[in-house]
Structure 1
């Protein structure tokens, strides 16, 4: 896996508190970015599911049942 550097500007007071408390900014930033990416991916997935659900509802139950039965008969 290839890594890249990402930086963030913070004020000196926060930096001193991080150092004082033994908090590694790189670990916190990495975890926050991973969490945000996962959140956005889930939002995107839910949006896709909503769009597909609308299409399924528009087509109607009977057409879906018929299509599934026809598909089974072809096999």
Structure 2
């Protein structure tokens, strides 16, 4: 399902795009897809940064402690 987005541009710009044979609808679609991808990535980075700040720093070698704990349980 697709929808129509209308954008008002100067007549000269549209004429120039047509004169040059630019497929402006495909170019706009590609630009908007890239914009969405970058915005999602930016928001994910921000969310990860907030999460990283909220987690307390782990002291010592946590992996080694888990391994020892696992071995002792057997």
- Rg larger for: 2
- Structure number with higher helix proportion: 1
**Superposition deviation, residue 30 in structure 1:** 0.2
Identify the residue that residue 5 of structure 2 maps to in structure 1. Answer: 6
Identify the residue that residue 57 of structure 2 maps to in structure 1. Answer: 60
Residue 61 of structure 1 aligns to a residue whose secondary structure is: coil
TM norm structure 1:
0.75
TM norm structure 2:
0.76
- Structure 2 distance, partners of 1:23, 1:9, is 17
- Structure 2 distance, partners of 1:55, 1:5, is 42
- In the alignment of these two chains, the number of paired residues is 69
- Structure 1 distance, partners of 2:37, 2:11, is 30
User: What is the alpha-carbon root mean square deviation over aligned residues?
Assistant: 2.6
In structure 1, the gaps of 5 or more residues are: none
In structure 2, the gaps of 5 or more residues are: none
